[in-house]
Amino acid sequence: GYIQACRGLMISAVCLGFFGAIFGLVGMKCTKVGGSDQTKAKIACLAGLIFILSGLCSMTSCSLYANRITSEFFDPSFVAQKYELGAALFIGWAGASLCIIGGSIFCFSIAENSNSPRRGYAYNGATSVMSSRTKVHNSIPEKTPPKHFDKNAYV
């Protein structure tokens, strides 16, 4: 019975992760689908909640299976084949943790959108560097243009 429960939790975690990824793609600012920025922020928060729920389902499934394995392993009256914790459980716990962390990042991304408006920066233009040799010291205007960009201006 516990294997069927673990299997059901893992299938629901995969399905929730798929829908969370779809909502996450729609909720990103770089996509054209989804409407305004406020709507996209709400969709991204929904994707975060779905990812957190997916991670919790996966974590519950891995922990339930590991609890059963360890209780059977340390039970001296259990005479059937005993199993040990394998790499799949550790990968499952790591993946569930990453889902929970990623979902919380998605949820907290809505706070960044509503509190701080984007500031624009004005471009002041490039400033040129003139060496003392390129400045004109006499008051008679010359016919040739001044040499602002000779080899000394870049040093």
Q: Walk me through the domains of the chain, giving residue ranges and CATH numbers.
A: 1-74+84-115 (1.20.140.150)
Predicted pLDDT at 122 = 72
Q: What is the pLDDT of residues 89-128, one digit of tens each?
A: 899 999 999 999 999 998 887 765 455 555 666 767 666 6
Tally of CB atoms within 10 A around 131: 14
- In DSSP notation, 46-61 reads HHHHHHHHHHHHHHHH
64 vs 119, more confident: 64
Q: Spell out the residues 6+ positions from residue 148 whose beta carbon is closer than 8 angstroms to its own.
A: 128, 130, 134
Helix (H, G, I), strand (E, B) or coil at 130: coil
Chain centre to alpha carbon of residue 12: 23
∠98-104-107 over CA atoms, to 5°?
145
d(CA 89, CA 120): 48
Res. 54: pLDDT tops 90: yes
Pick the closest to residue 48 from 8, 19, 9 (CA basis): 19
Average pLDDT over residues 126-147: 57
Please tell me the total number of residues recorded for the chain in this structure: 155
Task: Look at residue 18 in the predicted model and tell me its pLDDT.
Answer: 96
Q: What pLDDT is attached to residue 32?
A: 84
Quick one: average pLDDT of 60-66? 93
